[in-house]
Each structure stands twice: as structure tokens, then as C-alpha cells.
Amino acid sequence: MPDLSLVTMLFIGVNLDFFMILLLLLQKYRFRDNFIGYELGMLIVFAISAIAGQLIQTVIPTWAIGLLGLLPIYMGIKGENVNDNNASKSTPKRGMLAVLLMYLISCGADNIAVYVPVLATMTTAAILLTMVYFIVLTALSLILAYLFGQIPIVKYVFERWGSPIGRIIYILIGVFVMLDTGLIQFIFNLF
């Protein structure tokens, strides 16, 4: 049996930043698209951590994962508008994929780095129980983000300034991923 207090703190600690991103994504895509994309992203990251986390860290240099940071920077510069009227008509496939990619890019490497040492100490049964628990926590955090986004002042801020806030957040996520993985330091060391 996993230590529920430990895995709860683990989940909250590594997903707290994505909670803010969810506020933006919930304004852009349907709840169902966010739910499926977020759950799939969490399951992919969890599976990689539980099954092949050590291999990934030894085969792919961490700095190379930082190249994924270019995608949210591109989205921010291009202007992925959270209030775009066409976005509300987007296909479910596009919404699910956008949420999935945003989760993998913004949380993937960090979550893997944190999950691997914790999961390495668990039995297979404890890992499976933790995975089910994370599925429930993911759904609860999405529901909380949705409810928080319905608060009038929060809704007003996102309706009024959602697009520029979203663009800034996308760019900051990309820069953070590139810094956090050591990509920028690696580039500076080349010169």
C-alpha cells in the first residue's frame, strides 16, 4: 500500500503549475477534451516514470528534452488565443491533443524526474494503486480548475485578458522548460 500522504503531496507538488494552465485550457476547449487530454498526459508520464524512467534519463540527455520548450514558445508567439471564437468550435481531437501536448511539454520532464525515485521504491501493486489514485486526483484537480474558472472575477479576467495572459504563460513555460532541462546552459557551454 502506497503512503497516501506522500503520493498526494507528490501529485500536488508536480501538478500545481499545470493547475494555472488548466484555467486557460478550460476557457479554450471543452471540459471533456481537457479531461481526456489531461488524464492521458498524466498516464503517459506516469507510465514512462514507472516503466522506463531510468532508461530515458540515461539514454536521452536532459538538455535535449529542453528542445520541447520551443513548442509552447511558438504557440505564444503565434498567438494561441484562449478566447478565439473558432477555438470553441475546434474538433475534440484538436482540443484533446492540445491539452495532452501542453501537459507533456510543461510537466513531463519535471514529473518524470520526481516520480522515478518515488516509484522505484514501490512494489508493483503499490505502483498500480498509486496510478489509480493519480487518475482520481487528476479528475479532481480538473474539476477544481473548472469551478475556480467560473468565479465571476476570474472569468472576467480571462475574458478580458485571457489571450495575452495565455501567450505570456506559453512563452514562460517554454523558457522554463529550456532552463530547467539545462538546454540554455548546454548552449552557452558550446561557446
27-37 residue pLDDT tens: 889 999 999 99
Report which secondary-structure segment, H or E, holds 1: none
Terminal CA-to-CA distance of the chain, rounded, Å?
50
Task: Give the start-to-end residue ranges of the domains of the chain.
Answer: 4-190
Residues 69 and 174 sit within 8 Å (Cβ to Cβ): yes
Say how many C-beta atoms besides its own lie within 10 A of residue 3's C-beta.
Answer: 13
Residues 14 and 110 sit within 8 Å (Cβ to Cβ): yes
pTM of the model as a whole: 0.67
Residue 58: pLDDT band with limits 50, 70, 90: low
Closest CA to 66 of 190, 174, 143, 151: 174
For residue 191, the SS3 value is: coil
Per-residue pLDDT of 78-127, as tens digits, reads: 764 433 434 444 455 788 998 998 888 877 776 776 777 677 767 788 88
